[in-house]
Structure 1
Amino acid sequence: MTRHAIAALFALLPLTGQAAVLAAARTLQAGTIITASDLRAIDGKSAGLSDPASAIGKQARVTIYEGRPIHANLLQSPRIVRRNQTVQVIFQRGALQVRAQARALSDGGEGDVIRVMNTDSRKVISALVQPDGSLLAGF
């Protein structure tokens, strides 16, 4: 998100003694990636996020109805890996690097630790989701 978009969103914040919180500008279905146009500022009578940067780029975990305050627990990192997806797992120790195919046992976003099953050995391990969709084991 650009600085101009964040500045425009802050310009919408009410100038009252109470801190403004972010609310959904429209109904956001579960799985929606939040953009600046999905947010609006409301008075701070209820709890919720106040910094647009903490919501923009995140994914709605559940449906968030128009006008409802946005809380951190309603958002998650965008899902990069989907359950049952075939993924590449990388195990690295020093100069040794081993790559294997595995099946994801759950969804995961960047930085999440998920369980995967090696398709050859059928062994289940935990792996860290990388930004490119690969998984790092033995971290």
Structure 2
Amino acid sequence: MLRNSLLAAALLALSAAPLAAATLRSEVAVTGAVVTIGDFYPEAGRHAATPLFRAPDLGTRGAVSAHVIAERAQAAGFAEAGTDGLRQVVVERLALTIGETEVETAVRDALLLRETGLDADALQVSLSGFRGPILADAGQGNPVSVETLDWDRASGRLSATLRIRAANRTQSAKLTGLAQEMIEVYTAVRPIERGTIVAEADLAPVRMPRNRLTLRQVADLGNIVGLAARRSIQAGRPLRAIDFEQPVLVKRGTKVTLVYHTAGMTLTTIGQALSNGAKGDVIDILNLQSRRTVTGIVRAHDQIEVGTTRTRIAQLQETN
């Protein structure tokens, strides 16, 4: 009898003991239109989805009394709700800012999805007609959708209609602009005089529309470094392959070394170039000792490799 009385007293004492207060967040960020018990109290459990307040406007924040939060939560059935020592809680409604960058990205992605042959890294989109920025609900997965898209690949001209889902309404935007495949070509960073041998430091890349590119523009740095300017070149102008040539290694009238390689020996003598020559050019040279004209290939600066006929071997041997 005594044992049953003690057990009953213990149960009564437990039922009369106050429940432990739940933790109340001091700051709450939401993406939807309402703020729930679970937004305020992480331990809300089955009461988490119960709405308590309307959320502030998109992209704004406001303060709510902690006492009012606790009262409303308790009235909704969450008995553990309390103030946790707070006077107020700051509530912010998150928003996505839809600006020109987001709009251009949406159009660009739609174009790449439709035109599978486009190079994503080379595509550049510029649009006009967008009146923004527009705030959209951060809870939406994709607030911008492209409804219509027309693109002329040859000219790059583009028109599109977008649908943007804001907080309480959906609005349309009609845009026009350009979508161009860009390619990197090279320009001179400073004026280059005729005959100057081009170094990598003399050049800089610029991007230009692919449809304006011809085979004449230089798109590969390795194709011109080490070549000589065929004419004076202005800074900033896209370079053309015809602006360059192999540098002159032999100038007309200068003395050169004539070299002949044969099995086991090398013969040399002095000559005078009768024309200019770049590496690999075949030019005529006057042998200054024999006073005969020979033909050779420009191999290096002021160095000519002569032919391999027996007559030319004899000529070189006679002069040594």
TM-score range, shorter chain: 0.7 to 0.9
The separation in 2 between residues aligned to 1:130 and 1:107, in whole angstroms, is: 13
Contact 1:89 1:100 survives alignment (8 Å): yes
Equivalent of 2:271, from 89, 92, 102?
102
Q: Call closer, same or farther: CA 1:132–1:34 in 2, change over 3 Å.
A: closer
The separation in 1 between residues aligned to 2:251 and 2:237, in whole angstroms, is: 28
The separation in 1 between residues aligned to 2:187 and 2:273, in whole angstroms, is: 34
Code of the residue aligned with 2:188 in structure 1: it is A
The separation in 2 between residues aligned to 1:30 and 1:132, in whole angstroms, is: 19
Seq. identity, % = 27
State the match for 2:281 in structure 1: 112
Contact 2:250 2:301 survives alignment (8 Å): no
The separation in 2 between residues aligned to 1:116 and 1:20, in whole angstroms, is: 43
Q: Call closer, same or farther: CA 1:37–1:97 in 2, change over 3 Å.
A: closer
Code of the residue aligned with 1:32 in structure 2: it is T
Q: Structure 1, unaligned stretches of length 5 or more?
A: 1-13
State the match for 1:3 in structure 2: none
Code of the residue aligned with 2:292 in structure 1: it is K
State the match for 1:32 in structure 2: 196
Shift of residue 86, structure 1, vs aligned partner: 0.5
Equivalent of 1:135, from 304, 311, 319?
304
The separation in 2 between residues aligned to 1:29 and 1:66, in whole angstroms, is: 11
Deviations 1:41-74 (A, max 9, x none): 2314233111111111211111112222222222
The separation in 2 between residues aligned to 1:88 and 1:75, in whole angstroms, is: 27
Shift of residue 15, structure 1, vs aligned partner: 4.1
Higher RCO, 1 or 2 (CA under 8 Å, sep at least 6)? 1
Matches within 5 A, 1:72-91: 72-91=241-260
Deviations 1:89-114 (A, max 9, x none): 11233335432211011222322222
- Tell me the matched-pair count: 126
The separation in 2 between residues aligned to 1:40 and 1:120, in whole angstroms, is: 49
Q: TM-score, normalised by structure 2?
A: 0.36
Q: TM-score, normalised by structure 1?
A: 0.76
Indicate the structure (1 or 2) with the bigger Cα radius of gyration. 2
Asked if 1:125 is matched to 2:294, the reply is: yes
Deviations 1:11-34 (A, max 9, x none): xxx944232222222221101121
Code of the residue aligned with 1:50 in structure 2: it is A
What's the C-alpha RMSD, in Å, of the aligned pairs?
Answer: 2.2
